[in-house]
Amino acid sequence: MEAHTRQEKENDPNRVYLNDPEPRPVTEDLPLRRSEDLLLNMGPQHPATHGVLRVVLELEGEKIIKATPDLGYLHRGVEKLCEGLTYQQIIPHTDRLDYICSMSNNFAYVRAVEKLLGVSIPERGEYVRTIIAEMQRIVGHLFWLGTQALDIGAMTVFFWTFREREALLDLFEEICGARLTMNYFRIGGVNGDLTPNVIFKLRKFLKEFPSKIEEYDRLLVNNRIWLSRTKDIAVISAEDAVSFGLTGPVLRGSGVNYDIRKAEPYAAYGKVDWDVPLGTNGDTYDRYWVRMQEMKQSARIISQCLEKLPEGPILTDVPQVVAPPKEKVMQDMQSLIHHFIIFTEGFRPPKGEVYCATEAPKGELGFSIISDGSPKPYRLKIRAPSFVHLGAFDHMARGYMIADIVTIFGTYDLVMGECDR
């Protein structure tokens, strides 16, 4: 079992290569003893690959020599689809990218379109967006915590985090009528206002939430098995993390202070007081710690936003882009025509190219749009954090054991919907 280094293995004359670069002559006597790597195909149907990810593992015993992720099993051609849709019609498609945090995708997309149009959002709209985005971040991180713990074998955490996630999903249902694919953000604002009832329930949730985080911590943070499974596993240095283009909690776990919410504040992030938690070692435990702290910070942001929530409209007043309110459409001829035009023809943004990055729970979610002046984007490119993170997969998995593969899946917080698009 005592493993050779990779270098030694490569120099081994008896080694049989899986894809032999230079086939050896057949006349050569085959050695009696030969070593061969065990090739293990993990996924696309596997209980721990978080969707339909396939990884081809080259193993030596239980040790990983090489891990090659194979993507595309959930490819739906979202980017191409978007070229045939008007700008508003794309919003529900973004729901289905990272389906755990659909509103974060909505947010990232509408921000890109607003940047293209040069539209600004009323203040209340910005605050509501911030509140919703942070709620979504908590939901995403709860989901991540549950699945990561479940992968490592701690099943109770999963049910406990889903209990809190459920409370937030109920709130989402009250805000916009859906629980998973919310389609709540609109170009120029949001679809519905927060009712007093929602604010009351949200305050109640925020009051209880810190004690719930304590509860998860009690199960995990002092647990020696948990520590030995996460500390010094899948370590990535700050330089490597930056060169691989990692973002979000995965990058901050390595100690790089980069959070788009702080670097170029959007929505109401510049108006509230919060911190960016940073790890030091860049291992799985630090990423776990960063996400746990981020949940606390999100709760902090939401409660400050609720305090400061100004009165006013939630949709901007730009008639070329925003449809009139429904009550007017029912009574007023001009509004009806206006509504009809917006939803059949769409609007025509200026010609140009725009890239807009948003801090989604999983990392930097960017939308790059090229507009040719027509109501449909000429080209739309999504920079999905899960996809970029998988690039570093082999680098982070080499030398660890099979059991760590599931930890690494978990620590990226992968969602294949976003990765394959």
Residue ranges binding other proteins (CB under 8 A): 38, 40-41, 46-48, 62, 149-156, 158-160, 163, 219-220, 223, 225-226, 228-229, 401-406
Continuous H helices in 67-122: 78-82, 87-95, 102-117
Q: Which two tokens stand for residue 10?
A: 């490569």
CB of 151 to other proteins, least distance (A): 4
Widest distance between CA atoms in the chain: 90
The sign one gets for the Cα dihedral 293, 358, 134, 161 is negative
Residue whose CB is less far from other proteins, 44 or 122: 44
CB of 399 to other proteins, least distance (A): 12
CB of 245 to other proteins, least distance (A): 28
CB of 68 to other proteins, least distance (A): 16
Q: Which two tokens stand for residue 253?
A: 């776990």
Q: Which two tokens stand for residue 51?
A: 């969707």
Residue whose CB is less far from other proteins, 149 or 260: 149
Residue whose CB is less far from other proteins, 69 or 248: 69
CB of 129 to other proteins, least distance (A): 32
Residue whose CB is less far from other proteins, 228 or 243: 228
Residue whose CB is less far from other proteins, 48 or 198: 48
Residue whose CB is less far from other proteins, 304 or 411: 411
CB of 406 to other proteins, least distance (A): 5
At residue 253, the 3 state secondary structure works out as coil
Residue whose CB is less far from other proteins, 163 or 351: 163
Q: Which two tokens stand for residue 25?
A: 């002559």
Residue whose CB is less far from other proteins, 9 or 46: 46
Radius of gyration for the chain, computed over Cα atoms and rounded to the nearest angstrom: 24
**How many other C-beta atoms are found inside a 10 Å radius of the C-beta of residue 147?**
22
- CB within 8 Å of 238: residues ≥ 6 apart: 254, 255, 256, 282
d(CA 53, CA 47): 11
DSSP labels, 51-79: TT-EEEEEEETTEEEEEEEE--TT---HH
CB of 397 to other proteins, least distance (A): 13
Q: Which two tokens stand for residue 396?
A: 């982070």
Amino acid at the residue 51: G
CB of 253 to other proteins, least distance (A): 19
Beta strand segments in 169-277, E: 185-186, 189-190
Phi, psi of 405 (to 5 degrees): -55, -45
Residue whose CB is less far from other proteins, 50 or 96: 50
CB of 47 to other proteins, least distance (A): 5
Q: Which two tokens stand for residue 97?
A: 């990218």
Q: Which two tokens stand for residue 46?
A: 């596997």
